[in-house]
Amino acid sequence: MNMYDVITIGAGVRDVFLISDAFVALKSDQFPTGIGECVALGSKIELDQIVLTTGGGATNAAATFGSLGLKTASICKIGDDSSGRDVMEDLKRFNVAIRLVTTVVGGETGYSTLLTMKDGERTVLVYRGVSAKFSDKDIDFKALGRTKWIYLTSLGGNIALSAKIIRAAHKAGTKVMWNPGSREIKAGIKKIKPLLPMIDVLNVNREEADFLTGSRNIAEICQVLHSKGTVRLITDGIDGSYAHRDGWTVHAGTTGAKSISRTGAGDAFGSGFLSELMKTDDIKGALKVGTLNAESVIQKHGAKNGLLKNWPSKARRMKIKIKEL
């Protein structure tokens, strides 16, 4: 008997949003992106707002599932510090089981500080703490056979452990949704391709899809990443998202909701999509719920603060236009 509808796997961290008009964007070739977020050196910066919350792919996704009434557990790795306790309390607040969470005695929980300008652009200062060192002993492999779905997020680039989890879940008859992080993507298509038949839903953004496949054409991207009976999701920011299954591709638009922070949007989209897919197996409906969840999140600071608390109404769903390609 399944104990859970879904188990999320990945990071659990403390997020701190620092919002100020004093953060200024300056164009310069000195920065890898061509633009730097700057303050006057040696100055004292006045903050307009500070938001304390928790983040990390595993806990963000789990919060969606728990909010929508799904039996949810999360596998993440935290320290026995105040930030770790905050992560645990947040999971419980969203009705997520914490028995699979690993707490490292003397360890430090991951921590992100987000220097956020008033227009929503931000720079993220990341300390990964114990979440950077996932290993086999942090995963309850028996639990992978006691849930309907695994929602796997980044494990800090540990592609070998990601592959082991995917194979173990597949062998147990558990369905897998994988939202790999940038470090896993860098492993390349040669490492990821053998896993594709075992991944029921693969969720990547447009840039990651382009990198993996060497193509910017959606049809070609889907062809490279597809396996029979599986779903492939490609998110494209304000331009919407694509879903593909067995030669059938659809595009979902957005409502154009104004963003004040894009942190957690990807987690909200993926977990919203899977929530509806688990309930109805309707890809079009899942795209709508994923999009609405992401748009709700980007209108607040904090990856969990704007999450849907109830299934969206028919009227809200109709705002998302679906087009078959």
If you average pLDDT over every residue of the chain, what do you get? 95
pLDDT of 1 strictly over 80: no
Work out the percent of the chain whose per-residue pLDDT is above 90: 94
Contacts of 121 (CB under 8 A, 6+ apart): 25, 37
Work out the percent of the chain whose per-residue pLDDT is above 70: 100
Q: How far apart are CA 166 and CA 163, in angstroms?
A: 5
Which residue matches tokens 């540990």? 158
pLDDT of 320 strictly over 90: yes
Cα torsion 67, 138, 170, 206 to 10°: value is 60
pLDDT of 189 strictly over 90: yes
Range 162-189 average pLDDT? 96
* Residue 187 banded pLDDT, cuts 50, 70, 90: very high
Going through 82-121 in order, the beta strands assigned E by DSSP cover 96-97, 102-104, 110-116
Give the DSSP H/E element, type plus range, for residue 183. Answer: helix 182-185
- Residue 121: its pLDDT value, please? 83
- The tens digit of pLDDT for each residue in 107-159 reads 999 999 999 988 878 899 999 999 988 999 999 999 999 999 999 999 989 99
> By the 8 A CB rule, do 61 and 67 touch?
no
Q: How far apart are CA 299 and CA 261, in angstroms?
A: 7
Range 216-225 average pLDDT? 96
* Residue 178 banded pLDDT, cuts 50, 70, 90: very high
Superfamily assignment of 4-25+46-324 in CATH?
Ribokinase (3.40.1190.20)
Output the pTM of the full model: 0.95
Range 292-297 average pLDDT? 97
pLDDT of 250 strictly over 90: yes
- The tens digit of pLDDT for each residue in 18-34 reads 999 999 999 999 999 99
Beta strand 96-97 pairing with 72-75: parallel
